[in-house]
Structure 1
Amino acid sequence: MERLERALVACNRGLLIVLLLVMACIVFSNVVLRYTTGDAIYWAEEVARHLMVWITFLGAGLVLRFGGHVAIDNLHQAVGPRGARWLRAFVLACLGLSFLLMAYHASLYVWATRFQTTAATGVPFAWIYAAMPVGFVLLFLHLLFIARTYVLEGRHAESSEMDAEAAASI
């Protein structure tokens, strides 16, 4: 199970790096062309926007995993250790259920937009909106991997390469 978790995190991070690099290259090239030749790449803004959507949904799970999302933990501290465990279990169950419901409804939305295409590239919107169910499933998987440690100890995943502050900046 630990190998699967490491592989998921590595693939998730690798894909994020590639998408961010592609987006940065497209935007940089478009800016350079606009200021040097006066012409722009007609599809650059659209593709960069769609890459940003994918980066956002793919990165949300990693941010959750390392504790980078906004959290208010005053109540956890006020109810004592046993109450805090119950509260964290409740929060975890609510998050898990929300992620699964959002993945389901996002899948319906993807299906509904399968015949619509983007203006500049002609790519079906379903490919862009597929980021939503994929992202929510990844959020759910990352939540499952940290669930035990989070409920029992109130800690998120730890890594020598990433902490909550670095995760929040993804």
Structure 2
Amino acid sequence: MKKTIVVVYGRSNEGKSETIKAVCRKLLEMFPNAKKHLPEGVSDIQWEIDVLAALTVNGVKIGFESQGDPKSRMVEDETLELLASPNGDLGNCDIIFCATRTRGETIKTVENVANKHDYYTIWSSSLFGPNLDTKVLNDIAADAFVQLVVSLMLNRV
């Protein structure tokens, strides 16, 4: 399987984090026996805040970092590096979902981690319409990303 970082990028408040959390939720619904990998001291996925977690589904480890703002933990605490590195319970993910802005340090972080750990990257935006139901759009985007995960798991991409 091709190790892949799926980058959900966009401006502030356009549904990136909520879309990534929805992907994680949907995968847990599809695969209720998935093993959860969480940061030290965290007992369960904390949906009300940005998610940092990984799931192992049928031997494939999928990481999630929904905090992708400038100066966020992805940059300051190197959480994307944590998900990609071969060390630790959260690390060595086959697929990683992360949020970024459209330019700047979060983009550079993704590029650096992808190059260092030999990941492919897929860049996509969330669905956004200023006068449309954001929750519905996030859910539609998450469904597409779940299909992408399945395709990656089956080596169809």
TM-score of the superposed pair, with normalisation by structure 1: 0.26
Larger relative contact order (CA 8 Å, sep ≥ 6): 2
Greater strand percent: which structure?
2
Greater helix content: 1
